[in-house]
Structure 1
Amino acid sequence: MKRDIHIPKVENVYVAIVNEYNDIYKTQDWNAYIINDKEVDLEMVLILSKGYSETKVTSTMRHKLDKLPAKSFAKIELMQEDVLQLNNEFKVTFFEANNMFDKNYLFRKNTINLKALKTIPLMDKKGIFNK
């Protein structure tokens, strides 16, 4: 029965971890974003995030966006420095044209760092992104 369910491949939707300046607290922060580089809106976007290693597991964070417009992005969460030393996983599920899409994005431990920064599509900011 499970093999009868077809979940299409996710394309042009990314998760990015961006290093940016926080004007309020005057700090450099790491923030997670979801990016919709498609020509269509995404609906009912659900994101589960957690950090883990062989000996540690963080709480699972749950996020929901009713709509993520075409060619846009939205902040998911602030990432504490401590979790950058863990594997960080983002499970993203959304609807597009009444079809459900699902993908896991994994940032391996210690890969989120200043040496790995690249320009992020649509954002004109530097960070690490996962296709």
Structure 2
Amino acid sequence: MKKDIDFSPVKDVHVVIGKGDEGWKVFLINRNHAKLENVMVTSRGYGETKMEKQKTSTLRHMIPYIDSGEYALIEPIDESVFHLNNEYWVSYFINGQVYDKKFIFVPDSIVEENLTFIEELQMSGILHD
């Protein structure tokens, strides 16, 4: 059944981890010309520290829609998980077509040196394609 679903490639949708006055937050940006509908984001962290496996709880977020050129807050993120793989699995519909992609921030990639200015958010962040 899953083989029968056409998963078109995700374009112009980005996960951003931004740093503002209130700490670090995760956003989803829609740079498509179409509205994203029924957006589901699953987030989790996983990895190893000192030869010991670690993982966070899996969180699920539902966003009814994100208009073209807009963004949505997914969740705040704590610096204590930056040493893990931070995975955001994003699924959404455009005109009835399902789109699906995993965005993974690898360990220690969420650092001040990697921050760039994100126009939509008017803040510094790390943009994942």
- By the TM > 0.5 criterion, same fold? yes
Question: TM-score scaled to structure 1, two decimals?
Answer: 0.91
Secondary structure of 1:3 counterpart: helix
Identity within the alignment, %: 34
- RMSD between superposed Cα atoms in Å: 1.1
- Any unmatched runs of 5+ in structure 1? 23-28
State whether structure 2 residue 24 is matched by structure 1 residue 30: yes
**8 Å CA contact 1:87, 1:106 repeated in 2:** yes
* 1:22-81 Cα deviation digits (max 9, x unpaired): 2xxxxxx11000000111111000000001103101000110000111100011111011
Alignment partners' CA distance in 2, 1:64 and 1:114: 29
1:68 matches 2:66: yes
Aligned residue pairs: how many?
Answer: 125
Tell me the distance in 1 between the aligned counterparts of 2:93 and 2:25.
24
Shift of 1:93: 0.2
Residue 125 (str. 1) matches residue 120 (str. 2)? no
Alignment correspondent of 1:26:
none
Structure 2 Cα separation of the partners of residues 41 and 62 of structure 1:
21
Unaligned runs of 5+ in 2: none
The runs of 4+ residues in structure 1 deviating greater than 6 Å are none
User: Which residue in 2 is equivalent to 1:99?
Assistant: 97
